[in-house]
Amino acid sequence: MKFTVNHQDSRTSARTGVLDTQHGSIKTPVFMPIGTQGAVKSLSPEEVTSLGSNLILGNTYHLYLRPGHKIIERAGGLHTFMNWPGALLTDSGGYQVYSLSRMNKISDEGVEFQSHLDGSSHHFTPEFSMEIQRSLGSDIIMAFDECPIGNADYKTVQKAVNRTTDWAIRCNDYLSKYGPIHDWDQTLFPIVQGSVFEDLRFKSAEALVPLSTCGIAVGGLAVGEEKSAMFEMIEFLDSTLPKKQPRYLMGVGRPTDLVRSVRAGMDMFDCVLPTRNARNGQVFTSNGVLNLKNETFKTDLDPVDASCSCPLCAQYSRSYIRHLLNVNEIFGLRLASLHNLKYYLSLMDTMRAEIERDNFKVWSDDFLKMMSEFKGM
């Protein structure tokens, strides 16, 4: 895997680049649709590709529980199993173990937990997370980490930082010893932790940068801390993390958050918001978030967003999509999901273009000012 910075904005830390993988080249900044269970909810791989995406995210925890990583390995890896032609990144499963599982018990060895599905007992270690991700065959593998909640105290976060470093070393050692199962390379991204404590963020980054050959992630943000504190950490890490590697900001995903984070030098993003909000009838537009289930759209025959070229906006009205959503017609969920992902991917296209024009400061100032008038953006 190789990362090349193509253009550095002169007035912000925003930059464009290309991340070359054996499953295609990814232009950055990039937003990754979430395919937790091996699919972007309600959408086919062909539809996701048609929106302009060539990198999606899968999840180790969920795919381990169902259908099982060995089944996916026998199928030829997750790319083949789900018929995805592009690149794949898999989360380590650590966040889900802490947030979804019942009665998890964390030790230096790993995490014992009960499945959120049936209560069955399981044990994840850094080595086992790597084993699962080798079976899945993702292009980018996330190190197993401990992610404390946003309001955790200093001692708790300090312990998590130390454990995350030890686990990242074990992940790297395991991959160095065994290598990939499938016929393509896999690259490990260590995850910088430290919550809102600057010294712990620095300590984590300092320890993990030597393990990052072509990318590093920032975890433990957007988990309950104040947004101002989140951006203080992002801006601090801009001066701490390697400039020649892609920086992946995990789980941060409102449109204005993406713009502000790109300004601070972040390159890769994922979030459930586009598809989750779509399933609740909320769509992102150039005029803010619309809740299409509202009565006000019952007779509105305008497109959802006249500036959007997605299938929903090109062919259907607000009134029609409202009807579909209110009668729980799955076609409505699919159209709303297609629209929201198209909005996000188009936003990334626009940001890349403005960075290349060396106009990102002006454009982002205007965008943030305009979107400050709307809730949910």
Among 203, 194, 267, smallest CA distance to 232 is for 194
Q: What residues contact residue 266 under an 8 Å CB cut-off, 6+ apart?
A: 29, 218, 234, 238, 247, 248, 249
Angle at 319 between CA 315 and CA 324, to 5 degrees: 85
154-178 vs 198-208: helix crossing angle, rounded to 10: 10
Indicate if 91 belongs to the active site: yes
Q: At what angle do helices 255-263 and 227-238 cross, to 10 degrees?
A: 30
The residue among 236, 239, 231, 266 whose CA lies nearest residue 250 is 266
Choice among 9, 145, 270, 305 that is catalytic: 270
CA dist., res. 352 & res. 350, Å (int): 5
- Residue in 91, 139, 145, 267 annotated catalytic: 91
Element spanning 229, H or E: helix 227-238
Is 199 one of the annotated active-site residues of the chain?
Answer: no
Residue 351 in 3-state DSSP? helix
* Phi-psi sector, 288: left (phi>0), alpha (psi -120 to 50), beta: left
Buried b (16+ CB within 10 A) or exposed e, 294-328: eeebeebeebbbeebebbbbeebbbebbbbbbbee
List the 102-106 sheet strands across, edge first: 102-106, 111-114, 121-124
**Interatomic CA distance for residues 129 and 25, integer angstroms:** 26
d(CA 219, CA 195): 8
Under DSSP, the state recorded for 241 is: S
Cα–Cα distance measured from residue 229 to residue 202, given in angstroms and rounded to the nearest whole number: 15
CA atoms of 145 and 122, how far apart (whole Å) = 17
Active site (catalytic) residues: 91, 270
